[in-house]
Homo-oligomer: A and B are copies of this chain.
């Protein structure tokens, strides 16, 4: 399994070795063997599996919808989060964690009352035409190739691979098969509340609690799988709980300004935890032979 044909997009360094050793140890009969039913792997999405800069893919999707909503009803331009988006207020938009209530309101209002199928269609329409603002390729092509290889390798070793996103579950589901070769039931994420009536499901204006972020990730993973992860991958502070609940933790470090983006903001505590707990840090610059 150590040959170059395995994980070809990874540099043959300590991160690649640690991952291969973990897979080898849990699949080889002996004391460290873990039965397939317990091989759960969970990956954060934004910044771990695909590029999250200069803005979250889902933020681009939502902001386009906000612009359309303001066109329909110009009064909206006076209230947040619509105001910031139509005015291009970078200062307001820079720290989305400072504006969670307004953004959650926007997110739920933007697609309230439509069916889950209609939402799925709206997401597919976005992905069919939207292009990453700096990479210049469709958003369906901004996943990290080494991470796709890792997911395939885990699947080949009977791991059940899940995406565990703080973002919208049903947003990721619209492209999980195309981008990640994962079925829809392997996407865990945050969600608006749903209502069932007349044989169909409608998006409501509430938000399912807890959000799939921080400790909520561990709770969601348990709710979905009945287990804690054997392997977890993340990149930000919101992934700390998930990573510490896993037997093997991997933290993607964005340190490659040339091929991607270099930033530690929002990952300071995660990087410190990785050091303290001996998690495997994956440097985009040093460990990824190819990025996309």
Which residues of A are interface residues toward B (Cβ below 8 A)?
37, 40, 116, 160, 169-170, 173, 177, 183-185, 187, 191, 194-197, 199, 201, 208, 215-216, 218-219, 222-228, 241, 244-245
Contact = CB atoms under 8 A, between A and B. Distances in A.
A222 B289 CA distance: 38
Contacts of A173: 226
A194 B185 CA distance: 22
A169 B226 CA distance: 9
Contacts of A228: 201
Contacts of A208: 223
Nearest to A185: B225
A160 B191 CA distance: 23
Contacts of A215: 195-197
A201 B218 contact: yes
Contact of A245 (B170, B187, B196): B196
Given A170-B226, A196-B218, A215-B196, A185 B201 contact: no
Contacts of A191: 223
B219 A183 contact: no
A113 to B, nearest CB: 16
A226 B185 contact: yes
Contacts of A225: 184-185
8 contacts: A40-B185, A173-B226, A185-B225, A187-B226, A191-B223, A195-B215, A196-B218, A196-B219
Given A160-B185, A184-B226, A195-B215, 6 more contacts: A37-B183, A196-B245, A199-B244, A201-B219, A201-B222, A201-B228
A37 B177 contact: yes
Contacts of A37: 177, 183-184
Contacts of A187: 226
A169 B196 CA distance: 21
Contacts of A227: 184-185
Q: Which of A116, A185, A194, A244 has the most CB of B within 10 A?
A: A185
Nearest to A170: B226
A159 to B, nearest CB: 12
Nearest to A36: B183
B194 A222 contact: yes
Contacts of A244: 199
A30 to B, nearest CB: 22
A184 B173 CA distance: 22
Contacts of A184: 37, 225-227
A246 to B, nearest CB: 10
A219 B169 CA distance: 13
Contacts of A116: 222
A71 B181 CA distance: 54
